[in-house]
Structure 1
C-alpha cells in the first residue's frame, strides 16, 4: 500500500464521507473510491460499509486504522523534522563589512537570521581598506558587504543593496570647507589622497586621475586604513572622496565633509567567494535584503 493510499484511507476513516475526504486531499471522490476499492482487493475484505446515507468502518477497517495511524503519524513527524532541519542552518557564518553603516545593516540582518536559525552562530569582521577581499580568499570570511564595484572572477556579486551620496573630506581650514557643495571639477585644485592595494577599476571610479572635462587631478599621499586617510586630510595633505554618511560616524574637528553636487552615488552590495555559494550564504543574502528594505522604509 502506497503512502498516498494510506493517507486516503486514514482521512476517510476520520471523515466517513467520500466528498469531504476528497476535498481535504484535493482529489476527486472517484479517486478516493478507487483507492479504497484497491485496498479492499489487496486485503481481501471490506474496510467500509457504504450506504446511501452513511459510511462506516468495518471491524477489519477499524483494526487497519488503529495499526496504520501510529506508523503514519511517525512518518509525518519524521518528514516534518527533516524539512525543518533542511531549513535550519547550524554551525558558523562569518560576515564581513567595510564601513560602520555596513556593519549596522549586517548586524540587523543577523538578528533576523538568528530568530530563524537559532543554532547558527554569526561572527562579524571589519574588513580593512588594504586588500579587502583577502579574508574571503583566505577562507576567513563567508561573505561581505562592501563598496562596489567588485569585478573579480572568483567573487560572486549580489545586487546593489543601497546607495549613499558622495562627499569630499577636506581640511577644516581649506577653502572648500566653506562651501555648501563641491563638484568633480574641483578635484583638479587639491591633491587627492587615495588608498593602497586596490584594483585599477576601483581606483578609476572612486579616485579618478582626471575630472570629467579632462583636467588632471593631482595625487597626494595614499594610505591603507581609513583613519590614516582622515589623519592625512586633517593634516592638510589633501582631500579624499567618501560617502556623505561617513560624517556621522567619523567626525573630527580638523576635517569637514562637503557634499558633491554632481558625483554619482556610492553603491554597496554583498559579495562572496564563487566556491562558497552555499544555501546558508544565499539565505543570509536574502535576509540582508529584507533588513535593507526595513531600514529604507523606516528612514
Structure 2
C-alpha cells in the first residue's frame, strides 16, 4: 500500500468502464500515454496484470475483474467522504446546472425556485436536453443533473427521484384514421409506424418510447417528430401533459390504454454526486408529481 495514489485507482476504474485508453484519457483529461503510465504503476504495485490490451480490444484480466468489483464501493465511499467534507466546509453554494427534456414549465420552475429558496448561495441554471440524447449532457459534464424520461439503465448514472407518472397518448395527423377515435388500446398500435428518437439515444430507450416493429422515421427533437406526425408520416407516443402543452391544429392526441405510463426521473453521473445534487434531489422529491411536466 506504500505510495498508492488515488489517481491510479481512478484511472483503473474509468478504464474498466470504457475499455478504451483514448476515451479514458478524455474523461480524465490526460493523454493516452499517461493512462498507460498510471495503469502500469498500479499493476507494478499489485504485482500482476489487471488489463489485457491488444491491437483490437481491451479487457480486464480475471484478477482485474475481481479487483474492480472489490475496489469500486471502497473508492466511491472514500471519494464521497472527501467530497462531503469539502461541501460541509463551504455549504451548498456555487451553481448547479439542471437539464430537462421537453418543456421547463411553471412546475419545473417552481421546484427549482424551492431549491434556491432553501439554498440562496447556490444558483440553478437550466438547459434543454436533446430528445435524442437524454443522457449525453450528464455524461459529458454539460449539466450536473437532468430530468429525463425513463427507462434509465446506464451503469455510470444514478437514478434519483422518480415521479410524474402520466398516461400516454398517441399523436396522429388529423387525416389519420385514429384521429376520430376517443381512445385506443395497445393492440391498435401494433401495425402503426411510431416515430422514435434517433441515436445516440440507447436502443432500449428508443424501443420503450416507440414499441412498434413497423419502420418509421427517427428524429432528433420533439418538434421534428410532431412535424412528421402532422405530415402523416407516422404516429408518436407522448404523455398527456406534453400533448396538452404542444397542442396544434393539425395534430390530434388520442389516449392509449395498455401501454406503460410515461415516467420522469432525475439522473446524475455516479462520479458527480455533490451536496448540490443531493439537495436538488431532495427538492425534486419533495415537490412530487407537481414538480415537473413530462418531456
TM superposition score normalised by structure 2: 0.65
Distance 2:196 2:289 in 1: 32
Match of 1:280 in 2: 276
Q: Which moved more, 1:128-137 or 1:220-229?
A: 128-137
Match of 2:145 in 1: 143
1:289 aligns with 2:291: no
Match of 2:173 in 1: 171
Contact preservation (8 Å) 1:97, 1:103: no
Contact preservation (8 Å) 1:143, 1:281: yes
Q: Which moved more, 1:185-194 or 1:280-289?
A: 185-194
Q: Name the SS of the counterpart of 1:153 in structure 2.
A: coil
Inter-CA distance 200–122: structure 2 relative to 1 (3 Å threshold): same
Match of 1:96 in 2: 99
Q: Which moved more, 1:196-205 or 1:267-276?
A: 196-205
1:154 aligns with 2:156: yes
Mapping for residues 199-278 of structure 1, pairs under 5 Å: 199-209=202-212, 217-278=213-274
Inter-CA distance 146–295: structure 2 relative to 1 (3 Å threshold): closer
**Structure 2 gap segments, 5+ residues each:** 1-86
Inter-CA distance 88–106: structure 2 relative to 1 (3 Å threshold): farther
Contact preservation (8 Å) 2:161, 2:284: no
Distance 2:139 2:291 in 1: 30
Q: Deviations over 1:20-54 (max 9, x none)?
A: xxxxxxxxxxxxxxxxxxxxxxxxxxxxxxxxxxx
Q: Name the SS of the counterpart of 2:190 in structure 1.
A: helix
Bigger-Rg structure (1/2): 1
**Structure 1 gap segments, 5+ residues each:** 1-83, 210-216
Which structure's relative contact order is higher, taking Cα pairs within 8 Å and 6+ residues apart? 2
Which of 92, 106, 109 is the matching residue for 1:107? 109
Distance 2:210 2:234 in 1: 13
Inter-CA distance 87–267: structure 2 relative to 1 (3 Å threshold): farther
RMSD: 2.2
Distance 2:115 2:242 in 1: 27
Inter-CA distance 178–276: structure 2 relative to 1 (3 Å threshold): same
Q: Which moved more, 1:286-295 or 1:122-131?
A: 286-295
Match of 1:43 in 2: none
TM superposition score normalised by structure 1: 0.64
